[in-house]
């Protein structure tokens, strides 16, 4: 019998602070250059709010811009800010890459930018996003889909609706025993505002995939590290991915993680929603991420579940034959 997976919905001021700090850098501009999109009105108004206070020159923003220019992943930045105590952002152990005094500068930015009042004035918007997310995640079964592959999951699943920045991509971080998915609302077309989190038509192509793929990605990264010896054997056999996907995900591990998390989402949608939703998601993955090999991946992973306990005890045991089986599935299964 399936048991619902508890997903805790949070509005964390540290995450909001880092999102706001990104708005004062060139991040929104570069995100638009990468792909045009219409961010939430609250996010767009924040840029004006910060510009009026000349926050681009603030030491915290200068330091943050430097980190972005160096290619520091957003996941690292959000993980960092979640390690600070709220309020004041006192820090104990900090990574070597963090600029000296960054936590103190960031708190000064919070005060100088009058963010407490900005968030208070937008409290109804945040409360709406929070209540929408709570409705959406009341009955989901994420662990029932992940555990047959990766074993028992003891981590807590957490979801943070993010109506600031980034407005066009999801962030997944591990904080202690929590896996936190930081997810913007689904973008609409043209100049239309983003969709509500509880918009029925967006559940299977945005909200559930965004959260579940982040949880699956973080858990699989840990799993692969724990089974490094078997992974080292598996990586000797190339995965049959196309040139575009290989360019986006250069290493074997990155390719496998991308395939696995998308397949897990499709399997979840098929098993706990309906096949039509799963097909819609698969078509979206093909269009947006060139995931033409997704149907074959799903087929191979379902075959693993059928043979688990007989030919294979764990997913780690299966990794060495995964590339060959995927090569066969790629030839016979099309979208």
pLDDT of residue 1: 61
Characterise 169 by phi-psi region: left (phi > 0), alpha (psi -120 to 50), beta (else). Answer: beta
Average pLDDT over residues 108-123: 98
State pTM to two decimals: 0.96
- What is the rounded (10 degree) CA torsion for 128, 129, 135, 138? -140
Strand partners, 174: 179
- pLDDT tens track for 308-317: 999 999 999 9
C-alpha distance from residue 50 to each of 22, 103, 293, 300 (Å): 11, 19, 44, 50
The CB-side HSE value for 45 (13 A sphere, CA atoms) comes to 10
Mean pLDDT of the chain: 95
- Cα 177 vs. chain centroid, distance in angstroms? 17
Residue 289: the pLDDT is: 86
Per DSSP, the three-state class of 325 is helix
Percent of the chain with pLDDT over 70: 99
Give the Cα separation of 39 and 162 in Å (integer). Answer: 11
pLDDT in tens, 249-306: 999 999 999 999 999 999 999 999 999 999 999 999 999 888 999 999 999 999 999 9
Place of tokens 């309020």: 87
pLDDT for residue 37 is more than 90:
no
Cα separation, 183 vs 71, whole angstroms: 21
Strand 156-161 to 171-175 pairing:
unpaired
| Number of other CB atoms surrounding residue 219 within 10 Å | 24
21 and 109 Cβ atoms separated by less than 8 Å = yes
Domain ranges of the chain: 7-183, 227-332
Question: Strand pairing partners for 161?
Answer: 183
pLDDT digits (tens, 9 = 90+) for 47-88: 999 999 999 999 999 999 999 999 999 999 999 999 999 999
**Tokens 């960054």 — which residue?**
102
- Rounded distance, CA 132 to CA 135, Å? 5
Take residue 319 and report the two structure tokens written for it. 């990794």
| Rounded-to-integer distance, Cα 47 and Cα 23, Å | 6
């Amino acid at each position: 019998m399936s048991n619902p997976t508890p997903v805790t919905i949070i509005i964390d001021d540290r995450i909001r602070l880092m999102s706001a700090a990104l708005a004062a850098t060139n991040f929104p501009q570069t995100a638009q250059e990468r792909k045009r999109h219409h961010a939430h009105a609250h996010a767009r108004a924040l840029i004006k709010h910060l510009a009026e206070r000349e926050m681009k020159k603030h030491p915290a923003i200068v330091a943050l811009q430097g980190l972005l220019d160096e290619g520091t992943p957003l996941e690292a930045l959000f993980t960092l800010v979640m390690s600070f105590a709220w309020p004041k952002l006192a820090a104990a152990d900090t990574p070597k890459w963090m600029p000296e005094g960054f936590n103190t500068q960031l708190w000064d930015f919070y005060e100088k930018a009058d963010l407490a009042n900005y968030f208070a004035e937008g409290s109804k918007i945040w409360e709406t996003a929070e209540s929408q997310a709570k409705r959406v995640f009341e009955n989901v079964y994420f662990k029932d889909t992940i555990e047959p592959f990766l074993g028992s999951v003891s981590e807590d699943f957490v979801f943070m609706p993010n109506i600031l920045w980034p407005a066009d991509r999801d962030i997944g971080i591990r904080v202690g025993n929590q896996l936190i998915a930081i997810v913007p609302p689904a973008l609409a077309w043209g100049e239309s505002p983003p969709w509500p989190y509880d918009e029925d038509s967006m559940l299977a192509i945005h909200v559930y995939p965004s959260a579940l793929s982040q949880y699956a990605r973080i858990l699989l990264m840990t799993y692969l590290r724990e089974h490094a010896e078997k992974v080292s054997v598996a990586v000797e056999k190339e995965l049959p991915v196309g040139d575009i996907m290989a360019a986006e995900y250069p290493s074997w591990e990155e390719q496998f993680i991308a395939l696995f998390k998308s397949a897990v989402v499709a399997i979840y949608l098929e098993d706990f929603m309906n096949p039509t939703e799963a097909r819609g998601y698969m078509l979206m993955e093909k269009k947006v991420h060139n995931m033409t090999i997704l149907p074959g991946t799903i087929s191979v992973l379902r075959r693993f579940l059928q043979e688990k306990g007989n030919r294979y005890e764990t997913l780690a045991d299966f990794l060495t034959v995964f590339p060959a089986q995927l090569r066969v599935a790629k030839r016979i299964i099309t979208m």
